[in-house]
Structure 1
Amino acid sequence: MNAKKRRSDTGFLMQGSILAMASIISRIVGLIYRVPLTATIGKTGNDYYGTAYEIYNIILLISSYSIPLAVSKLVSARIAKGHIKDATKVLHGALLFAFISGGIASIIVFFGAEFFTGTVLKTPLAAIALKVLAPTLLVVAILGVFRGFFQGLGTMIPSAISQIGEQLVNAVVSVVAATLLFSYGKKVGGVLGNVSDYAAAFGAAGGTLGTSTGAFFALCFILFIFFAFKKVLKKMIKKDRHKHFETYGDIFPVLIMTIIPVLLSTTVYNISSIIDQGIFKNLALLQGYDSKVTSESWGVFTGQYKVLINVPLAIASSMAASTVPSLTAAFNSNDKDVVKRQINAANRFVMVIAFPCAVGLMVLASPIMLLLFNDAESSSALMLIIGGCSVVFYSLSTLSNGILQGIDKMTIPVKNALIALVAHVALLFVLMEVFKLHIYAVIIANAFYALMMCFLNQSAVLRFSGARIDVKKVVLAPLEASALMGLVVYLIYHMLDAILVIGMSEKVANLFACVISIIVGAVVYFVAMLLFKGIDEETLLKFPGGTRLCQIAYNLHLLR
């Protein structure tokens, strides 16, 4: 492999690592602030918050979620050819599209809040939180254009920093606003005769206010970066000597035709969540379940289970975002070797993280629920035990989604998502109607959906790219190392918990046992991956802190 290609591969993984680290930090911050938020608004408040967020997410997907990926793809293709002026036209065209789509979406959500939450999802009080979220759709659309532009230029740093800043502001504002509005909601409920529900509803609105404020902060930050970068951009434009410039009449059709397949695939890919909620709540109501029990179950699912599952999924999302520009450039240059290597490297990177996260969540399900959410209910832990495996499936399917878009097979994920969605809905009906599994039907159906998407997308990637996945290094090694880690973590936790609970409270003993067992598990996994040849020096160096990790491995005689 020549030096240029090695730099290309390393750069692509490093950019993915930067965005992955930012996403992980953001998700961890999100996980941390959800602890006091849940303590303030309760499981019912989580249901209102989750319901508003599900509707917001679907409208966001339809209106502007596909913009960053589409912009990064179009910009990177033009930058690879040295067509800087055309790349800036893509930016301007995308901004106009974002203003229109984001503005229309905001208006629809604000004025249709009662219909979406009350009529469709049987959770009318969630309308308060949804109305607070409505303006965010315009902000996020514009923000997405600038993030996509910088990603197309080959740098993930502006997106990464803005993402962390957005989540930090979100965390602070959410907790403070939820506390203040929860108290206000009590007063409103006292007048209307329903204290607990109105307090939870206004508290949830405080949580969504954090999302709006965080997005606005991120937009301000990335605009500052863009204006600081304009001098460099002008110099790049001056060096652009090609003669046949694209007009906006050329740009808009290409932009729209790039956005639509991405929009369809991401919408179908993510719409299952809101379909789940509609089916679950309506069927549970018809089956005679108490509405409060159903509301609390959904609150645990969205406010605890999905929050935990989404932390490791941030890596797959980040790797997919960084893969698209680099794969597009390699694909347009007809460099098949680079395409194959980057696909293999991305899969390996994601699986090294996804397997231990899945096993860890399943093995420590009950301790984690108790530690983070003060939830000792066995039903809550069982959600993680059943659904933990979906971390691996969703990680692979998310990555393969991005890879297919990067190699111009943008309609394939749409077809696959539709097939998986139909099978998912059918299974959910059967599990709820025939087996009466209530919330666990949703967990199992979600895992099945992710598995189908994983299989269909990966098959398409291998078929159209010609890549071959090294099963031993990509799948078997992390699976074996994770299984060993899971066994050690399980034994260490229960041994420590049994000893520590004698001299301290159950919660404190659980805290120490969790932290120690997780640290021991990380060490065991690292050593096992090296022993099972699942990771080598070249791959290790591409991780953040890779040089230090290699030094430790050499000192332990695990690398030669």
Structure 2
Amino acid sequence: MDEDNKQGFLQGALILTLAAFISKSMGLVYRILLTRLINKEGIGLYQMAYPIYTIILVISRSGIPVAISKLVSEKIAENNRKSAYRIFRIALSISVVLGLIFSVGLILTAKPIAENILRDSRAFYSVLAIAPAIFFVSIMASYRGFFQGLQTMNPTAISQVVEQLVRMSTMLLLAYFLLSKGVEFAAAGAAFGAVTGAIAGLGVLLYIYGKHKQAINKFALSGEGDKTPVYKILHRIATLAIPVTFGALVLPLMQFVDATLIPWRLQEAGFTVHEATGLYGDFAGMAMVLVNFPTIITVSLAASLVPAISEAFALGKNALIKARTQSALRLTVFICLPAAMGLFLLATPLSTMLFDVPEAGIPLRYVSWGVIFVCLQQTSSSILQGINKPKIPAINLFLGAALNAYLNFNLTAIPTIGIRGAAFATASGFCLAAILNLLAIGKLIGYDYNYSNMILKPILATLIMGLSISPVYGQIIKLTDKNILATLGAVIFGAVVYSTVLLISGAVQERDIKLVPKIGDKLAKFLTRIGLVRG
């Protein structure tokens, strides 16, 4: 727990990104296998239960780890470690109580929720199966918040990977063995994976915490402590956590509105209950999974960004706030632009290759550009939270959710639009939220960006990549008649073209390459020597 062990925010983000990439990759694999196992209707039932779970989970734990992370990093910056540890212990107690209450509450209300809100009684089993996970995830989130407040990201990273591995194994095994009893039971088995995964992730954190107990005890006794009354600490936690919770609540509420609105409005458009559930599975269980995959980096960046900017804010270092803000937004743009282009151009080939459901490419093509706005919304929200403005991203995301609901209601019920309307509505909602966040950052922090390197050159690289993808895909499919080879070939070729143009244009420089763990220095020297990177 020594201050020398504290990781820089970009290094911390890279560690979390690596863990999240492994975790999300495993998640994509299990989603592919699960879709092929229980079909789009089973995925639709699973996706109906998941927003219920995430809504309650957000209420019980989302704001608390952010509050812990922020308050702990602030106290450490003030050299008041005893108070930092005391804040963690109080917040942990809150998480235990809230997690237990909400888990029991969801178990008791699972049946009326499935019958009266989701309009498909078969979803009851999935809601019931996923409910206990809330308790364990709530506790796990507090420990992650504590370690992130120390700007030590390794415990979070390790627990994420273990959680996903156990979750994936449980989901697939239970879905396979329960499929003979009906698709609703298979979906419930998949949902129960959240419980075993959360237990495993929490176990890892408790092990790491126990292993460093002596150092933590020494840390907890450092400094005089400010002897702040418990009720004032609770008030401070609530002041930070409640706005963040409301902000985090908007996204699962959007998903919940989608889960209730989309199947209903599709039925209004003339689809049967089974067809509507299947189409919802195409959108929420496949298209949105691919859209959310690139957010691995922005979610990890956000977790590292809040304590890093909070520390700079507490010390009054405005130049450091601007520098970290610019680095975060720049990295976000570099990732989201090519991801959106690739998903747009290869929507149907990707859906066919991964899920064997080519029709999932229809909503994916329409929601693909939402990747840009989802990523920017996540990063910009973390920046605003770091400078003590958590209400702004919460309000902006709520406005985006309102736009999403309005467009969803009106477009999805039109027979000629159908599920395309849901995709367009989601992209539009995130677009509004992201733009409002960026305007707020410009007003509060000020812009000090190199727009050429940050926006123009990445757009140029993305356009050149886009022009190369379709011909490459077409040529390979003509030669081999194999979609998987053509899709992978186009993705790899596009990534090489994008990276090369980005390097040649000077948008990525030597100092950026050096941030890559382990190989950064050697890679930077090699790329500089061959003329692809500027010093």
Return the TM-score normalized by structure 1: 0.91
1:107 Cα offset (Å): 1.3
Aligned length: 530
Report SS of the residue matched to 1:468: coil
Q: Deviations over 1:178-213 (max 9, x none)?
A: 101112x1xxxxxxxxxxxxx111111111122211
Partner of 1:476: 456
Q: Cα distance 1:514–1:287, how it changes in 2: closer, same or farther (>3 A)?
A: closer
Which residue among 288, 295, 312 is the counterpart of 1:313?
A: 295
Q: Distance in 1 between matches of 2:476 and 2:426?
A: 34
Q: Distance in 1 between matches of 2:422 and 2:520?
A: 39
Q: Cα distance 1:541–1:27, how it changes in 2: closer, same or farther (>3 A)?
A: same
Structure 1 stretch 72-81 or stretch 421-430: which is displaced more?
421-430
Partner of 1:105: 102
Q: Distance in 1 between matches of 2:7 and 2:522?
A: 17
1:444 Cα offset (Å): 0.3
Partner of 1:220: 203
Q: Distance in 1 between matches of 2:412 and 2:489?
A: 39
Structural mapping, 1:143-542, within 5 Å: 143-183=140-180, 185=181, 199-240=182-223, 242=224, 244-377=226-359, 380-433=360-413, 437-501=417-481, 509-542=482-515
**Is the 1:9–1:338 Cα contact (8 Å) retained in structure 2?**
no
Q: Distance in 2 between matches of 1:418 and 1:38?
A: 31
Letter in 2 for 1:233: I
Q: Distance in 1 between matches of 2:459 and 2:301?
A: 20
Q: Cα distance 1:235–1:516, how it changes in 2: closer, same or farther (>3 A)?
A: same
1:71 Cα offset (Å): 1.2
Q: Distance in 2 between matches of 1:91 and 1:454?
A: 31
Partner of 1:188: none
Q: Distance in 1 between matches of 2:219 and 2:269?
A: 64
Q: Cα distance 1:548–1:419, how it changes in 2: closer, same or farther (>3 A)?
A: same
1:448 Cα offset (Å): 0.3
1:341 Cα offset (Å): 0.2
Q: Distance in 2 between matches of 1:369 and 1:237?
A: 51
Partner of 1:76: 73
Q: Deviations over 1:100-134 (max 9, x none)?
A: 11111101211111222221121211110111111
Q: Distance in 1 between matches of 2:113 and 2:161?
A: 30
1:323 Cα offset (Å): 0.5
Partner of 1:18: 15
Partner of 1:505: none
Q: Deviations over 1:288-342 (max 9, x none)?
A: 3211111100011122111111111121111111100010010011100000000
Poorly superposed stretches of 4+, deviation over 6 Å: 7-10
1:57 Cα offset (Å): 0.9
Q: Distance in 2 between matches of 1:177 and 1:435?
A: 37
**Is the 1:117–1:124 Cα contact (8 Å) retained in structure 2?**
yes
1:236 Cα offset (Å): 2.3
Structure 1 stretch 402-411 or stretch 355-364: which is displaced more?
355-364
Q: Distance in 1 between matches of 2:466 and 2:443?
A: 34
**Is the 2:269–2:412 Cα contact (8 Å) retained in structure 1?**
no
Q: Cα distance 1:42–1:352, how it changes in 2: closer, same or farther (>3 A)?
A: same
Q: Cα distance 1:446–1:89, how it changes in 2: closer, same or farther (>3 A)?
A: same
Q: Distance in 1 between matches of 2:522 and 2:471?
A: 29
Partner of 1:194: none
Q: Distance in 1 between matches of 2:95 and 2:215?
A: 25
Q: Distance in 1 between matches of 2:415 and 2:178?
A: 40
Q: Deviations over 1:382-434 (max 9, x none)?
A: 22211111111100011111111100011111221222222222222332356
Q: Distance in 2 between matches of 1:522 and 1:284?
A: 37
Q: Distance in 2 between matches of 1:396 and 1:70?
A: 22
1:238 Cα offset (Å): 3.7
Q: Distance in 2 between matches of 1:433 and 1:40?
A: 29
**Is the 1:89–1:248 Cα contact (8 Å) retained in structure 2?**
no
Letter in 2 for 1:530: L
Partner of 1:506: none
1:235 Cα offset (Å): 2.1
Report SS of the residue matched to 1:559: coil
Partner of 1:190: none
1:256 Cα offset (Å): 1.5
Structural mapping, 1:54-65, within 5 Å: 54-65=51-62
Which residue among 98, 101, 123 is the counterpart of 2:120?
A: 123
Q: Distance in 1 between matches of 2:409 and 2:416?
A: 10
Structure 1 stretch 434-443 or stretch 451-460: which is displaced more?
434-443
1:243 Cα offset (Å): 5.4
Partner of 1:43: 40
Q: Distance in 1 between matches of 2:273 and 2:509?
A: 53
Q: Distance in 1 between matches of 2:284 and 2:159?
A: 25
**Is the 1:40–1:203 Cα contact (8 Å) retained in structure 2?**
no
Report SS of the residue matched to 2:294: helix
Letter in 2 for 1:95: L
Q: Distance in 2 between matches of 1:243 and 1:367?
A: 59
**Is the 1:330–1:338 Cα contact (8 Å) retained in structure 2?**
yes
Partner of 1:504: none
Report SS of the residue matched to 1:288: coil
For structure 2, the residue ranges without an aligned partner over 5 or more in a row are none
1:10 Cα offset (Å): 8.5
Q: Deviations over 1:477-523 (max 9, x none)?
A: 2222122112222211210111012xxxxxxx222222222222222
**Is the 1:68–1:147 Cα contact (8 Å) retained in structure 2?**
yes
Report SS of the residue matched to 1:66: helix
**Is the 1:343–1:467 Cα contact (8 Å) retained in structure 2?**
no
Partner of 1:556: 530
Q: Distance in 2 between matches of 1:96 and 1:235?
A: 21
1:35 Cα offset (Å): 1.4
Q: Cα distance 1:207–1:434, how it changes in 2: closer, same or farther (>3 A)?
A: closer
Q: Distance in 2 between matches of 1:285 and 1:207?
A: 26
